[in-house]
Amino acid sequence: MRNLSAVLTAASDVQIVERPVPVPDPHQVLVEVRAVGICGSDVHYYEHGRIGSYVVEQPMVIGHEASGVVVAIGAEVTDRAVGDRVALEPGVPCRRCEQCLAGRYNLCPHVSFFATPPVDGAICRVVAIDAAFAHPVPGDLTFEQAAMAEPVSVGIWAAQKARITAGDRVLVTGAGPVGLFAAQVARAFGGVDVTVSDVSEFRSAMADRLGLTAHRSGQPFERDYDVVIECSGAQAAVTAGMSALARAGRLVLVGMGADSVTIDVPLLQGREIRITGIFRYANTYPLALDLIASGAVRVSDVITHRFDLEHTEDALTISRRDPEALKAVVTPHVGGPPPGGDLGSERSR
């Protein structure tokens, strides 16, 4: 078996190289990777070679939104079998630190997270991962749908942190893939008249296509919202979102843009607004897969481009060439993309 891998060697340089096939540890499974979504963090590493304090100092396999098929199991794995279809939760924590023992394993300081330096990612033919983080995929899901459990998990974590309940009026700022998934999750949690705000006419149209209320950024809001989920990272969106909150409203910061933003403190205090940041997610994958399988969160509409492994660099740069690019998916295995996919094509819908 050859383990061709998309390796980020430096900013703006991805090489397709053959890596050793990993041998699973006793508690790991070896997975033949079938689909990997391209995330904004992958693009940022590609363009800048770093995200904050995480610096690519040695060649690193890119990609962390992955699914595939188990092809081998470690000696002590009893709850996974060869042939199982799985979605890979990319962060494996230590399970022993204070944060892990409190159930907040997303905050584990010792976590090993795909495609976060120095840990290799999943745009490769095969990858090894702890069996507990290879989640069974419901039978009807495609591999690319299963890979979307990762960004959908971000939306679930945001909704949980916002404590969305039935009847809450929800605004999502930023209609990228995470924003569109977060809005659908908010609706599934009981949010009403879930509104998505963005500057892009195409992305606003996508929100409307998904049954959400579309709003063009810069226009006044017609109501106050109980919850705002900010997914753009833009100062203007943070300011507009806070202004749109009702008294005792909740603002959850998801998007990572500028290192710092300005907050209207009198508004914050006068309305008793609660602001919460989120970092990744914890214990969300089974729910994410269920929401996708049930159709409550439609992910296929958001997947606009598909590429084979050899065209990974094209996948990382597609948003520069196509203003209507949302989510790109790389298909590492020679078996190719799901029916209807166009291997190596920039536009697949």
Q: Among all chains, which residue has been given the structure tokens 């584990």?
A: 108
Per-residue pLDDT of 290-313, as tens digits, reads 999 999 999 999 999 999 999 999
What single-letter amino acid sits at 45?
Answer: Y
pLDDT of 336 strictly over 50: no
**Backbone phi, then psi, for 311, in 5-degree steps?**
-110, 25
CB-count burial class (<10 Å; 0-12, 13-18, 19+) for 139 = exposed
Per-residue pLDDT of 107-160, as tens digits, reads 999 999 999 999 999 999 999 999 999 999 998 999 999 999 999 999 999 999
Q: What pLDDT shows up at residue 343?
A: 41
The overall average pLDDT reported for the chain is 95
Q: How confident is the model at residue 346 (pLDDT cuts 50, 70, 90)?
A: low
Per-residue pLDDT of 273-286, as tens digits, reads 999 999 999 999 99
pLDDT of 348 strictly over 80: no
- Which value, to the nearest 10 degrees, does the dihedral of the CA atoms of residues 9, 14, 20, 23 take? 90
- What does pTM read for this prediction? 0.94
Half-sphere exposure of 51 (CA within 13 A, CB side): 14
Percent of the chain with pLDDT over 90: 91
Mean pLDDT to the nearest integer, 226-240: 97
Per-residue pLDDT of 180-214, as tens digits, reads 999 999 999 999 999 999 999 999 999 999 999 99
**Backbone phi, then psi, for 210, in 5-degree steps?**
-85, 5
pLDDT of 344 strictly over 60: no
Percent of the chain with pLDDT over 70: 95
Q: Are the C-beta atoms of 110 and 93 separated by less than 8 Å?
A: yes
Domain with residues 3-148+299-331, CATH architecture: Alpha-Beta Complex (3.90)
Dihedral of alpha carbons 255, 260, 265, 267, sign: negative
Q: How confident is the model at residue 223 (pLDDT cuts 50, 70, 90)?
A: confident
Half-sphere exposure of 233 (CA within 13 A, CB side): 11
- The CATH class of 154-277 is alpha beta
Q: What pLDDT shows up at residue 258?
A: 77
Q: Where are the domains of the chain?
A: 3-148+299-331, 154-277
Mean pLDDT to the nearest integer, 223-229: 97
Q: How confident is the model at residue 349 (pLDDT cuts 50, 70, 90)?
A: very low
